[in-house]
Chain A
Amino acid sequence: MRDWESAALEPGVGELELALEAVLFAASEPVPVKDLLAACSTVDADAPAPAELDAALERLAAHYHARSIELVRSAGGYRFRVRQRFSPQVQAAQPERPPRLSRALLETLAIIAYRQPVTRAEIEDIRGVAVSTQIMRTLTEREWVHLVGHKEVPGRPGLYATTRTFLDDLGLGRLDELPALDDLRALVDLPSDAALPVLPRSQDGGEEPPPES
């Protein structure tokens, strides 16, 4: 039987919690649960059950409730991060402002995120402009986007998708936590009937379109 509670250095924080804290702080990426379980097995020969791990992580998170950092979970696993209300202070202490992302890059990223896997041609169809190689390179270098295969059409164009790093960097657990896409917004009031008369008929044509809603 494990005796974490009695070994506690502080109330609620035992050897297991301390080990998890060490592992999480030493990692520069989110730590997946299986790695945490592996780390725990060095504390105690029997790795704790996942439920016990969850409980330990909860105790660890609770321990930080009054601090400026917090334990969070995202797609790749658990990580510590600075509470967002302290972001201005962290920013102020950094010599460089993070670069803004261009609209072209964000639009390309959005199309890949919502339409993945997607080819460059499909991105171009939606944006109406050529996909810049530079943008794809930036997205790939940031490890937000990667090539996941080739579409079996002539030319076998590459299919792009977003990565787990993309979700991690946005603090998301899953892709469907992205904000929902808007419904199509009416640009003009066209009759829902797709086959419109090209010329208005002599008697009933020529109605002024109602103002946009």
Chain B
Amino acid sequence: MTEAEVVELEQPLEADWSCRVNGSPMGDMPADLYIPPDALEVFLESFEGPLDLLLYLIRRQNLDILSIPIAEITRQYMAYIEVMQALRLELAGEYLVMAALLAEIKSRMLLPRPAGSAEDDEEDPRLALIRQLQEYERFKAAAERIDDIPRLERDVYHAHASRDALAGPPPPAPALEDLIDALVGVLRRANLSAHHQISAEALSVRERMTRILETLEHEDFVDFVSLLVVSEGRPGVVVAFLAVLELSKGGLLEWGQGEAFGPIQVRRRMAVVEDA
């Protein structure tokens, strides 16, 4: 196809579709080239990004990368991107970059160059894209072949005799009932010392949360029960218990139990180190 034909293709775009591709008249766009926004979800799932979409258009639709109707593709891209922005901004950005690249390539192809310019210095703008597409295609094929290799737990299975029984069952994580049992035990003891309660000071849960965090600041695991101070009587124990639950809900505490039926232990959760 000559550049003259490319120009011919671009110019009547706005008017109607009586354009010629590779010299032959072209009526409609291939039906499955345009993807209606309704099908966007399917579209997003079936392509792994703009390179994958472009490869599909080239391999399946026999789209000639040397004469891609960039204007129309860009228009389609833009329509998808509008919808995509509502759904997956990250993806939209990548398609937008590809649309911009295609438009840039096309504009560079269409611009006349002054005779005698150093044309050998400048690489065909399509080459870099073609190389990227080819490279992507190799890994796309490699990925399919890796998926075909018989894989453990899908196609092949270990034969081994379990020796887990030798180690015994792992200690159970404390269940809510265990916490409640512990609370009941402490409350029972609190009842015994209820008459020692003199102070009418209102105990706030928030304040207690801070105090518990302070208590746990320098210490490793402490017995959960030790946070509930029996001498404070029933209200004090309840406030402490609520404070511990609040802290736990906020992800500030870590629970442990050294052995089955052992004391329930708690400590401050260490700062989570983000992986790079």
In addition to A81-B159, A130-B90, 14 A-B residue pairs with Cβ atoms within 8 Å of each other are A82-B156, A98-B154, A110-B143, A126-B136, A126-B139, A127-B136, A128-B132, A179-B142, A184-B134, A195-B120, A195-B124, A198-B111, A206-B1, A208-B1
Are A170 and B151 CB-contacts (below 8 A) given A114-B142, A195-B122?
A: yes
A-B complex: 8 closest residue pairs judged by Cβ atoms: A206-B2, A196-B124, A129-B49, A128-B51, A106-B143, A110-B143, A169-B152, A80-B159
- B61-69, B180-188, B225-233: which lies at the interface: B61-69
The chain B residues found within 8 Å of chain A, CB to CB, are 1-4, 22-23, 48-52, 58, 62, 64-66, 90-91, 94, 98, 108-109, 111-113, 119-127, 130-147, 149-161, 163, 276
Q: How many A-B residue pairs have CB under 8 A?
A: 180
A187 within 8 A of B: yes
Closest to A90 in B: B157
Instruction: Provide a sorted-by-A list of 10 A–B residue pairs whose CB atoms are within 8 angstroms.
Output: A25-B161, A101-B147, A126-B139, A169-B152, A171-B156, A184-B134, A186-B134, A187-B65, A194-B123, A198-B124
Give chain A's interface residue range (CB within 8 Å of chain B): 35 or more
Are A170 and B58 CB-contacts (below 8 A) given A87-B157, A126-B139, A205-B2?
A: no
Are A82 and B159 CB-contacts (below 8 A) given A196-B127, A199-B112?
A: yes
The chain A residues found within 8 Å of chain B, CB to CB, are 24-28, 69, 79-82, 84, 87, 90, 98, 101, 103-104, 106-107, 109-111, 113-114, 125-130, 147, 157-158, 168-172, 178-179, 181-182, 184-188, 190, 194-200, 205-206, 208-209, 212
Which of B135, B137, B150 contacts A171, CB < 8 Å? B150
In the assembled complex, the CB of A197 is this many whole angstroms from the nearest CB of chain B, namely 5
In the assembled complex, the CB of B60 is this many whole angstroms from the nearest CB of chain A, namely 12
